[in-house]
Amino acid sequence: MSYQTQRFQFGLGPGMTQMVKTLILVNIGVYVIQNLFITFFEIDFNGLFGLVPVYFLYNLFIWQIVTYLFLHGPILHILINMLILWIFGVDLEREWGAKAFLKYYFICGIGAGLIQILFNMLFFPENQSIPIIGASGAIYGVILAFALMYPERELTFLVFFVLPVRIKAKYLAMVLAGISLFSGVFGTDNAVAHFAHLGGMLVGLLYLKFDWQMYSVAAHYQKRRETKQIIQKAKKRQKEDEIRAEMDAILDKINEVGYDNLTEQEQAALRRASRYLNEEL
């Protein structure tokens, strides 16, 4: 894990990475298509491609667990999500690579949707027919990963575009999680899937911790295998040296008294050594 202490100004950064750029462009493209279909064709686009718990669970609209990530509500919804993806995603993609970042993004988004469905079933059955849309679950997972990778990095942003506030990444993640938890438990706005936000963070945390633990375990066993191979090679070299030394002594005796004067044990040892060395070569 990398611990960064430098300050970080909210902005668009030195450049957008390829996968973050692709995700933003796809989200924008889908947003345009979504609004065209809803406005001009009067098609229930959100019902078809948003995550509707009753459709997903009982009608097997399984594609919704992925497609809901690319749908958004008001334009501010998609603008904030894509801006946060840009700000926090580029460093993660540079650190992990495009494929690993995309995998993490979808794992968080899918996990967030499943957790929101679970909470709807248990505590908010009246929301079972309401479409869940937006990349916020995946975005919250990205924020969590950023906080884990760079916990001490200071972030500076403007509250209401006026008041500068500086906060470390780890505290920002805690504040956002706290707000989502409070809003999910005590809030009355059914239009926001607060538990999907928390779900994205939770799934991201579990995935990263498991992934890091598996990496540590794999590294441990890899080191053990390498050590075992080194020991085996050392034992093999030692055995070869012993055989060669024994052969040299026998060959010296042959030069002095001839092969016929070797004992049966010496002749057998010479044959065994010859076979062993030939097999190794």
- Average pLDDT for runs of 10 along the chain of length 281: 41 73 97 93 91 95 97 95 95 94 96 94 90 96 95 79 82 92 75 87 92 63 75 79 80 79 78 72 53
Q: How far apart are CA 102 and CA 85, in angstroms?
A: 12
Confidence (pLDDT) at 280: 61
R_g (Cα) of the chain, nearest Å? 32
> Can you tell me which residue has the tokens 């928390």?
198
Instruction: Report DSSP letters for 6-51, one per residue.
Output: SEEESS--S---HHHHHHHHHHHHHHHHHHHHHHHS---HHHHHSB
Confidence (pLDDT) at 231: 77
- Domains with residue ranges and CATH for the chain: 7-220 (1.20.1540.10), 223-280 (no CATH)
Confidence (pLDDT) at 212: 66
Confidence (pLDDT) at 2: 38
Beta bridge partners of 167: 155
pTM of the model: 0.72
Confidence (pLDDT) at 3: 37
Confidence (pLDDT) at 83: 93
Confidence (pLDDT) at 93: 96
Q: Say if CB 196 and CB 115 are below 8 A apart.
A: yes
Confidence (pLDDT) at 255: 81
Instruction: Report DSSP letters for the chain, one per residue.
Output: -----SEEESS--S---HHHHHHHHHHHHHHHHHHHHHHHS---HHHHHSB-HHHHHHS--TTHHHHGGG--SSHHHHHHHHHHHHHHHHHHHHHH-HHHHHHHHHHHHHHHHHHHHHHHHHH-GGGTTSPB--SHHHHHHHHHHHHHHSTT-EEEEEETTTEEEEEEHHHHHHHHHHHHHHHHHH---TTS-HHHHHHHHHHHHHHHHHHHHHHHHHHHHHHHHHHHHHHHHHHHHHHHHHHHHHHHHHHHHHHHH-GGGS-HHHHHHHHHHHHHHHHH-
Q: How far apart are CA 266 and CA 19, in angstroms?
A: 70
Two structure tokens written together for 188: 């009355």
